[in-house]
Chain A
Amino acid sequence: MTESKGGTVLIVDDDREVVRTYRRYLEDAYAIREAYDGEEALEAIDDDVDVVLLDRLMPGASGGEVLDRIREQGYDVRVAMVTAVDPDFDIVDMGFDDYITKPTTREELRRTVEDLLSLNRHATDVREYHSLLVKAAALRDGKSSYELDENAAYIELESRISTLEASIESEAERLTDDSRFVATLRAIDTSQRGESDG
């Protein structure tokens, strides 16, 4: 697995100059993959990819078609559509998680990728929080509170639970953003079962 840095970003655009520019904006913080059309994008994607920057208008398969294939194949990946014009439609039911309007800046591109990675983390954290709560409940079964206070594994678990709880509650304010709320639910939908164990 080549996963390094803050995550893996797949850049998809038929304009090589655009791909080069995005790579330059991002490569110090993320592992980068590139694709120059829809078919290449589908070949380049696997479970290590966290974020796809997907050009909407490409010769051959369009960004929308590639998005549909990515969703059909069930990849747990966040997709930002890159468009030439501001979408004048409600994006929450379009199947992508965010969008960027061309031309973009380094700052905007990095913020978009970081937002998508942070909602991915939020979804993973909530799932891990659940599995820790289940484990703590199992440890509590049939034990007195005195025994639990002496149980190092239980104390460690409780401390992980409160750390995780603080972090997921602090993210909750951002859920009033409709597209972030829906993208977080999509991350839960596409997550692989049992991924948060261990």
Chain B
Amino acid sequence: MAEGDARTDRYCLSDVLPVDVDGIDPGLNVLVSGPPMSGKRQLVFDLLAPEAVPADPIVVMTTDDPASRIRMQFDDRNVRFDESSFRIVDATGAPGDSAPGIHRVSSPADLTGMGVAFTQAVDQMTAPDRLRLGFVSISTLLQYVDAERAFSFLHVLSRRTSAAGYLGVYSIDPTTHEDRFVNVVTSIFDASIEIREDDDGTRELRVRGLPDVAPEWTPFPH
């Protein structure tokens, strides 16, 4: 494939990141990590829908915020929820009416159920060639399953989307886990975006693992 073709296949990021990266190659998986309230969830959602009219179908898998809150957060960024191109796998176990585009799973401990819901979401969007999967969050998943199962689940899910040429974006709060676990789980991903905040509220971001991007801390204002 000519380089020009590969470029147009990339997942466009517009100017979501304060560094010079305009797209991510198909099949990559990106980990967004940051402490609580650092805006990592917003960044995950920005990476899924950089523009109000998303370029690609979206699936959000959630283990913490129920589907209604996820929808609200996309409404706030003027992204329209439409089950032909946007679906939510809600594994929070929160009660909710069945609604088009919402796939409910009883608990984050039901890894099989999350997999089934993901395949159904993709199939019901007629198995698109391109898709952006968001997963929020690894930290909550770890409250329900042991580290080995969580790692295995994330490995299998990320390789499944990778094989299909999709983009995967996952969030983790590294402050709530041992460094060792964070390092091991980070190794699943092709790239990571770390967010940190000073005591005075200055926010910075560092991208690692993407070609042509220096892994340097860069101001990332709120």
Q: Give the segment of B38-46, B72-80, B91-99, B114-122 that binds chain A.
A: B114-122
Min CB gap B77→A, angstroms = 31
Q: For the complex, would chain B's binding face be called helix, strand, loop or mixed by DSSP majority?
A: helix
Asked if A92 contacts B155 (CB within 8 A), the reply is no
| Cβ–Cβ < 8 Å partners of B116 in chain A | 92-93, 182
Q: Contacts A175-B156, A181-B156, A181-B160 given: A137-B111 contact, CB under 8 Å?
A: no
A129 and B155 alpha carbons, distance in the complex (Å): 10
Min CB gap A21→B, angstroms = 32
Of B123, B148, B162, the residue contacting A127 (CB under 8 A) is B148
Give the A-B pair count, Cβ closer than 8 A: 87
* Binary flags per residue of A181-198, CB closer than 8 Å to B gives 1, else 0: 110111011010110100
Residue of B nearest to A119 (CB): B156
A191 and B148 alpha carbons, distance in the complex (Å): 10
B164 on the A face (CB < 8 A): yes
Q: Contacts A127-B152, A130-B151, A134-B184 given: A185-B159 contact, CB under 8 Å?
A: no
| Cβ–Cβ < 8 Å partners of A166 in chain B | none
B176 on the A face (CB < 8 A): no
Residue of B nearest to A168 (CB): B155
Please give the residue numbers on chain B whose beta carbons come within 8 Å of chain A beta carbons, in ascending order: 110-112, 114-116, 119-120, 123, 146-149, 151-153, 155-157, 159-160, 162-164, 180-181, 183-184, 187
Please give the residue numbers on chain A whose beta carbons come within 8 Å of chain B beta carbons, in ascending order: 90, 92-93, 123, 126-127, 129-131, 133-134, 137-138, 141, 168-169, 172-173, 175-176, 178, 181-182, 184-186, 188-189, 191, 193-194, 196
Task: For the A-B complex with A92-B119, A172-B163 known, give 20 more contacts whose Cβ atoms are closer than 8 Å.
Answer: A126-B152, A127-B151, A131-B148, A133-B184, A137-B183, A137-B184, A138-B180, A168-B159, A175-B156, A175-B163, A176-B160, A176-B163, A178-B119, A182-B115, A182-B116, A185-B114, A185-B153, A185-B157, A188-B111, A188-B156
